[in-house]
């Protein structure tokens, strides 16, 4: 699995979809995934269920995707967005018009009908540089955003705009993990399809049932549970 995934990331970098620092990010992710046992741990499954409940109860849910995410799970993101239903925006840390266009084309080739992100007619409040650019009708107006592999500053800025941010990050110690409303410590490759499974299971749940699932989530406590799982696992290996 990991060799095939590496090949996908490497090819996508050659095609200008993944930024060169995306390779470093991927390597860091692989290291954490190895420590977790390369599987969805129980607390991550609960986070994925909570994410599904939050996305189903949202007024204007968005998936914000970048180079690494599209390289690894473009079709899975499109499928998840269809079932919720949610919209998709290409939102990049290392933003260039060329990369936004290439990544948007990749999504369209994989079946996405509408892809936000190219207009870039507004900035995320309190952020500078090009990573602040987004679409006014895109994540700027979303209430709940699923952002796999987010950067810490942007995550904080979106929270400051009163948005619910669901992050997927294999590093439970990252600033993004600590800042997000719901942090999923799992590989995007497993997390996105599992959120979709939960969306199917919760599709007929009432608003009250969905809200009850979301209200039970305590992000700080759950990150603590993840670290506890990790340390127990590492200790059990000796
Ligand atoms: O495409 P762009 O321009 O938006 O750039 C994307 C990257 C990923 C390069 C950019 O956002 C970045 O530099 O991210 P960071 O700050 O390196 O953070 C990436 C985080 O994602 C790290 O904490 C990694 O552990 C984690 N990560 C990497 N691969 C995966 C992952 N988490 C889940 N699944 C993965 N496959």
Q: Which of 41-50, 125-134, 137-146, 209-218 has the lowest mean pLDDT?
A: 125-134
Ligand 1 atom index nearest CA of 103 = 1
Please give the distance, rounded to the nearest whole angstrom, from the Cα atom of residue 46 to the centre of ligand 1.
22
Separation of alpha carbons 204 and 212, rounded Å: 14
Longest dimension (CA), the chain: 54
Tokens standing for residue 37: 């046992």
Ligand 1 cavity residues, CB under 6 Å: 19, 21-22, 25-26, 28-29, 32, 66-68, 92-94, 149, 151, 168-171, 174, 187-188
Query: How remote is the CA of residue 212 from the centroid of ligand 1, in Å?
Result: 31
Q: Which residues contact 221 (CB under 8 A, 6 or more apart)?
A: none
pLDDT, one tens digit per residue, over 82-135 is: 999 999 999 999 999 999 999 999 999 999 999 999 999 999 999 988 889 999
Q: What is the DSSP letter of 138?
A: T
* Cα 37 to middle of ligand 1, angstroms: 19
Residue 41: count of CB within 10 angstroms of its CB? 17
Averaged pLDDT of the chain: 96
Has this prediction a pTM greater than 0.75?
Answer: yes
> 157 is in which domain, residue-wise?
2-236
Distance 18 CA to ligand 1 centre (A): 10
User: How many structural domains are present in the chain?
Assistant: 1
Mind listing the pLDDT tens digit for each residue in 6-65? 999 999 999 999 999 999 999 999 999 999 999 999 999 999 999 999 999 999 999 999
- 162-198 burial: b if 16+ Cβ within 10 Å, else e: ebbbbbbbbbbebebbbbbbbbbbbbbbbbbbbbbeb
Question: Ligand 1: which atom is nearest the Cα of residue 5?
Answer: 36
Which pLDDT value is given to residue 2?
A: 82
State the burial class of residue 147 (Cβ atoms within 10 Å of its Cβ: 0-12, 13-18, 19+): buried
Q: Would you say residue 1 has pLDDT above 70?
A: no
CATH of the domain at 140: 3.40.50.12640
First-residue to last-residue Cα distance in the chain: 26
CA 174 to chain centre: 14
């Amino acid at each position: 699995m990991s060799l095939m995934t590496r090949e996908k990331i490497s090819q996508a970098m050659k095609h200008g979809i993944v930024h060169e620092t995306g390779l470093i990010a991927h390597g860091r992710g692989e290291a954490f995934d190895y420590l977790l046992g390369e599987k969805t741990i129980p607390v991550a499954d609960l986070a994925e269920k909570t994410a599904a409940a939050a996305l189903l109860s949202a007024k204007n849910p968005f998936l914000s995707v970048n180079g690494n995410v599209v390289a690894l799970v473009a079709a899975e993101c499109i499928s998840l967005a269809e079932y919720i239903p949610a919209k998709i925006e290409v939102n990049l840390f290392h933003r260039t018009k060329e990369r936004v266009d290439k990544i948007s084309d990749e999504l369209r080739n994989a079946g996405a009908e509408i892809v936000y992100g190219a207009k870039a007619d507004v900035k995320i409040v309190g952020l500078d540089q090009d990573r602040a650019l987004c679409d006014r009708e895109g994540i700027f107006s979303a209430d709940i955003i699923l952002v796999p592999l987010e950067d810490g500053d942007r995550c904080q800025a979106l929270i400051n705009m009163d948005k619910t941010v669901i992050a997927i990050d294999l590093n439970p110690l990252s600033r993004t993990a600590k800042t997000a409303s719901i942090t999923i410590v799992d590989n995007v490759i497993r997390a996105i399809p599992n959120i979709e499974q939960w969306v199917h299971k919760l599709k007929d749940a009432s608003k009250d049932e969905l809200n009850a699932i979301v209200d039970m989530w305590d992000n700080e406590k759950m990150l603590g549970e993840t670290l506890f799982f990790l340390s127990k696992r590492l200790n059990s290996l000796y």
